[in-house]
């Protein structure tokens, strides 16, 4: 087991190193002075320039530069944004929670809907219910998320006027930034109209969350269905029936546990798709998350922001993937190495 954890740890460190090298290299690839691309400061004063060049060890060899770049990254000194002039570390950690929040609610909702439906389909394998659910999931799975989001805006915002189409909350509510999770922030704040703010925030959340949920639910449903179908013909299920347990008891005691065990890590593996979808949806619903922030940075040619944003997002994705993979192997050591979801 120790060797196993060590191997994952090595993989993690190496991947992060490659990402750091790439982000460092970007500063040289982007047009302009690499020092300006690293710091995000326009250094007109020669004295300032010298000081910064010294801080980043620009006159030393490339390896020394890279080492000091790593040290600064570790210290949270990620440079400044060209366009806002604010520290990138702060900007990124202001917008990242919004994305995580959106993805979390979407994932929860997909699990709540997808797992029961998946069981239903799996238990009624090759019957009408199964086919209908399977067909619906194909539609959900193959719908492009940006198109779905636009369609929902057209229908629910512009035609029916049920939901607002942009942002996290009406800007008239001044929610103090604390954790970055809007519902938690409202809860913790001492605003006079907490209830109204909460309802308003939830209203803003419905459409973005649903847009992501529809796609993710389809994946969850198909994964669950596949697992149930695989568990049902197993000997221990047949044995349970033979012992005289009712269908209800068999499902609860044997099928649920045995089907869930292998699929939970696989479900969590979908977090990459989830995050990607969340970033697309953010742009459409003007959700102030990292996806929206990165798009703005690219549009404004904010090179330091693109560099740091890319590093932050890919680090998050790599961490998630490796952590979950490790967790999956610890929970279920019998699982084959490199097993991936079949949907």
Chain residues that interact with other proteins, rule: CB under 8 A: 83-84, 100, 103-105, 107-109, 112-113, 153, 156-158, 161-167, 170-174, 183, 193, 195-196, 199-200, 202-203, 205-206, 209-210, 267-268, 271, 274-275, 286, 288, 296, 299-301, 316, 319-320, 323-324, 327
Rounded to whole angstroms, the Cα distance separating 208 from 163 reads 11
CB 122 within 8 A of CB 116: no
User: In the complex, what is the shortest distance from the CB of residue 172 to other proteins, in angstroms, rounded to a whole number?
Assistant: 5
Instruction: Report the b/e string of 48-71 with b at 16+ CB within 10 A.
Output: ebeebeeebebeeeeeebbeebee
- Which one, 195 or 244, has the nearer CB to other proteins? 195
- Which one, 22 or 156, has the nearer CB to other proteins? 156
Closest to 231 (Cα-Cα) out of 253, 201, 211: 253
- Which one, 25 or 156, has the nearer CB to other proteins? 156
- Which one, 119 or 173, has the nearer CB to other proteins? 173
User: In the complex, what is the shortest distance from the CB of residue 246 to other proteins, in angstroms, rounded to a whole number?
Assistant: 29
Rounded to whole angstroms, the Cα distance separating 82 from 39 reads 9
CB 294 within 8 A of CB 313: yes
- Which one, 205 or 228, has the nearer CB to other proteins? 205
In the Cβ-directed half-sphere of 193, how many Cα atoms lie within 13 Å?
Answer: 9
Rounded to whole angstroms, the Cα distance separating 165 from 142 reads 23
- Which one, 209 or 251, has the nearer CB to other proteins? 209
Closest to 241 (Cα-Cα) out of 259, 254, 229, 258: 254
Rounded to whole angstroms, the Cα distance separating 99 from 110 reads 16
CB 206 within 8 A of CB 163: yes
- Which one, 27 or 165, has the nearer CB to other proteins? 165
Q: Which residues contact 120 (CB under 8 A, 6 or more apart)?
A: 129, 133
115 three-class SS: helix
């Amino acid at each position: 087991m120790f060797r196993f954890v060590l191997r994952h740890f090595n993989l993690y460190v190496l991947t992060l190193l490659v990402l750091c090298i790439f982000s460092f290299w970007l500063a040289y690839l982007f047009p302009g002075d690499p020092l300006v691309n690293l710091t995000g400061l326009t250094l007109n004063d020669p004295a300032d320039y010298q000081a910064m060049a010294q801080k980043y060890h620009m006159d030393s060899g490339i390896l020394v530069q890279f080492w000091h770049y790593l040290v600064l990254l570790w210290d949270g000194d990620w440079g400044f944004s060209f366009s806002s002039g604010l520290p990138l570390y702060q900007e990124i950690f202001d917008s990242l929670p919004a994305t995580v929040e959106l993805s979390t609610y979407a994932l929860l909702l997909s699990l709540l809907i997808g797992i029961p439906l998946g069981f239903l389909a799996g238990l009624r394998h090759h019957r009408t219910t199964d086919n209908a659910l399977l067909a619906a999931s194909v539609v959900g799975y193959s719908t492009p998320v940006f198109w779905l989001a636009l369609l929902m805006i057209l229908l629910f915002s512009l035609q029916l006027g049920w939901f607002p189409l942009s942002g996290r909350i009406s800007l008239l509510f001044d929610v103090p930034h604390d954790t970055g999770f809007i519902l938690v922030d409202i809860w913790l704040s001492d605003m006079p109209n907490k209830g109204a703010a909460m309802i308003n925030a939830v209203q803003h959340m419905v459409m973005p969350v649903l847009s992501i949920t529809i796609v993710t639910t389809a994946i969850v449903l198909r994964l669950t269905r596949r697992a149930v179908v695989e568990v049902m013909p197993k000997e221990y299920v047949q044995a349970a029936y033979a012992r005289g347990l009712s269908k209800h008891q068999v499902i609860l005691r044997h099928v649920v546990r045995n089907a869930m065990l292998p699929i939970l890590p696989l479900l969590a593996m979908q977090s990459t798709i989830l995050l990607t979808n969340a970033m697309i949806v953010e742009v459409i619903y003007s959700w102030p998350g990292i996806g929206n922030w990165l798009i703005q940075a690219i549009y404004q040619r904010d090179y330091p922001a693109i560099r740091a944003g890319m590093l932050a997002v890919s680090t998050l994705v790599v961490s998630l993937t490796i952590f979950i993979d490790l967790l999956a192997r610890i929970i279920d050591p019998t699982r084959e190495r490199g097993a991936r979801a079949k949907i």
